[in-house]
Chain A
Amino acid sequence: MNWEFVLHQATSGLANGAIYASVALALVMIYTATEHINFAQGEMAMFSCYIAWQLIDWGLPYWVAFFCTIAISFAGGVAIERVILKRFHNAPVLAVIIVFIGLLVIFNSIAGWIWSTVLKQFPSPFVDIFPTTKLVGPHQLGVVLTILIILTGLYLFFRFTPLGLAMRAAAQNPVSARLVGVRVNWMLALGWGLAAAVGAVAGMMVAPIVFLDPNLMAGILLYGFASALLGGISNPGGAVLGGFILGLLENGIIVVENLVGVTVFGNELKLTVALIVVIAVLIFKPSGLFGKVRVKRV
């Protein structure tokens, strides 16, 4: 057995999983705050990433640009909710989805228009911090750590702060929340801001690996979405785990086929197989592996 091959595939699966997990986190974020899946999440993250690139290009040190981008994205997220989505609070779900798709196209086109569609290199801050090993690059290690930090932060925020509690309440039961004095509209905007900020971090973690261009998130959003559903769209920890599982599953198919010596699925169908597994899981556990089962009164 070729252990080097297996190990390389496993670590590359985990590294990809980290990418999916970071996007899944942003999706969970917006879902927790608004009970919607934002299809424009990926493009917003891509756009944030371009802002970071621009700041670095103007000569700002990486970490200054990093935190500036998070702040700008947060403000941008709040603004989008206040200016655009506020008008759709009572609109049917389909109308909201069309708005999301519209945002997706708008962000994609504007990014191409401002920064051109040419591939850009995005720096990784972890290259100088972690050692380079043959198996895992320093950036991959950094991504996993960053995700864990965000995850802990979000958990603490939602679980232990009054603001976090108010946000959850506003999403789950707006009427009662309003009755006890929660400013529901602002909670939604805050949720958008947080999701945009988490997305910005996700983008800045992904871009050094896959290079920056306006279609940065086009494929990744699909994986992020699958990860979030697999782990449970209402559970940040579950979504992250879902990402890692999906990454490992994908490469696992290749490894197994390689060990057995038969190619049934190959690279063409590995994603398909991984998604079939996700669907199978959802059939038996509709709220995901780690999602909370929600009961709604009719």
Chain B
Amino acid sequence: MSALRLMGGLAAALVLAASPALAQKKYDPGASDTEIKIGHSIPYSGPASAYGTIGKAIASYFKKVNDEGGINGRKVNFISHDDGYSPPRTVEVVRQLVEQEQVLFVFNTLGTPTNTAIQKYLNAKKVPQLFVATGASKWGKPKEFPWTMGWQPDYATEGALYAKYILENIPDAKIGLLYQNDDFGKDYVEGVKRGLGEKNMSKLVASVSFEVTDPTIDSQIIQLKGAGANVFINTATPKAAAQAIRKAAEIDWKPTHFLTNVSSNIQTVLIPAGPENAKGIITADYRKDASDPQWANDKGVADWRAWMAKYNPDANVADQNYVYGYAVAQTLEGVLRAAGDNLTRANVMKEAASIKDLQLPMLLPGIKISTGPNDFYPIEAVQLAKFTGKTWELFGKVIESRPE
């Protein structure tokens, strides 16, 4: 009996020794010769379900990758669960992904409160929490959280950028700020204040908030006009942003209008608000707006459209989330290709932290993704653009927006 077992053991050792190629491949749970398992959670249901299309976009992007042969011969198994934007459910879902489904890592989980809820757990388990889908500024701290990395430029930095632009270009500015009364909106307030600095704080004449549940924000716009603001920083989410643009025009308030890139989509925000009302609005973006006619002949957008037509035939092409999902999935694809056969969690994290000047087809020209062992903020540049009534006209140089 024991001799048999010994023989079996010897045979296994011999087989291992006889295949040197196998020894070079390194796997952690979730990776094998044929498959890379990736975990994901996003609200497919509930009040934030509009974001769910990002999950669909990522899934169909990897479907395309798999159809074309996968990554280094391995198929991507993208396991995406619904968390309803509820942190306790995110914790449950992510635990299930890690412990039961044994994913290699967790990718692009959506939301600030939800990612906060799983950050400690994933870092304790040493499971990468890669390219999270939130613009809060706290995801790039490799010393405290070496397994967590953000992706998009953060909201506070965007707010600071507008403030700096105003200080340089509008000498008599009286700024009115509209923000959503939660962490997302307060990030912008903090950023705008940081950009203004102590001595220019008096230029911020009014800063008014609204609740996500407010049916309209008419009262807030009247308050901003009443405070005498001639510059309007509009950091509202799409629905409120569109209302704000229209209401300002209705009450004949014509400030220099800055609009967050969260709500800068032409088809879904500016056209409903009335393109003539939106004329002259300034934003700072890093993506191409696929509904913008200036990209009609762009190769990147054409490829994106072809992918949309083939893999998401029923989707709304005006939904900017499909651009987001496509671009973030491409970033991950690059990382996994670079990781080659060394698919350990540590190596995936190492590759994610060594991206050099990656230029993605759906990001604005000149905006490159770079990371390093101490730089966990992949996209750190934006470009200003002014709405002409039809298209976003880019102006000025690509601006570094490194968080402070």
Contact = CB atoms under 8 A, between A and B. Distances in A.
B365 to A, nearest CB: 26
A250 B219 contact: yes
A13 B214 CA distance: 12
Contacts of A109: 45, 49
B367 interface: no
A94 B223 CA distance: 43
Nearest to B50: A117
Nearest to A267: B209
A7 to B, nearest CB: 10
A2 B226 contact: yes
Given A109-B49, A213-B239, A119 B268 contact: yes
Interface in A99-120: 105, 108-109, 112, 116-120
A211 B272 contact: yes
A219 B215 contact: yes
Contacts of B220: 267
Interface residues of A, number: 43
Interface in B209-249: 209-216, 218-220, 222-223, 226, 238-239, 242-243
A258 interface: yes
Contacts, number: 106
A251 B215 CA distance: 13
Contacts of B11: none
B319 A105 contact: no
Given A116-B53, A137-B250, A258-B223, A268 B209 contact: yes
Contact of B213 (A5, A8, A211, A218): A218
B181 interface: yes
Contacts of A137: 250
Most chain B beta carbons < 10 A, residue from A13, A20, A267: A267
Given A134-B252, A211-B272, A117 B53 contact: yes
B215 A220 contact: yes
Contacts of B219: 9, 12-13, 16, 250-251, 254, 267
Contacts of B251: 8, 134
A104 to B, nearest CB: 11
Interface in B184-220: 208-216, 218-220
Most chain A beta carbons < 10 A, residue from B52, B215, B319: B215
B222 A16 contact: no
Interface string A1-26: 01011001100110110011000000
Contacts of B269: 119
B315 interface: yes
A161 interface: no
A75 B319 CA distance: 33
Given A12-B222, A268-B209, A105 B272 contact: no
Nearest to B316: A116
B302 interface: no
A12 B50 CA distance: 28
B208 A258 contact: no
Contacts of B223: 254, 258, 267
Interface string A253-277: 0100010000000111001000000
A116 to B, nearest CB: 4
Nearest to A251: B219
A210 B273 CA distance: 10
Interface of A: 2, 4-5, 8-9, 12-13, 15-16, 19-20, 105, 108-109, 112, 116-121, 134, 137, 206, 209-211, 213-215, 218-220, 222-223, 250-251, 254, 258, 266-268, 271
Given A211-B243, A250-B219, 10 more contacts: A13-B219, A15-B218, A20-B215, A109-B49, A116-B53, A117-B52, A137-B250, A209-B243, A258-B226, A267-B210
Interface of B: 45, 47, 49-50, 52-53, 181, 208-216, 218-220, 222-223, 226, 238-239, 242-243, 250-252, 267-269, 271-272, 315-316, 318-319
6 contacts: A12-B218, A12-B222, A112-B52, A119-B239, A219-B211, A222-B213
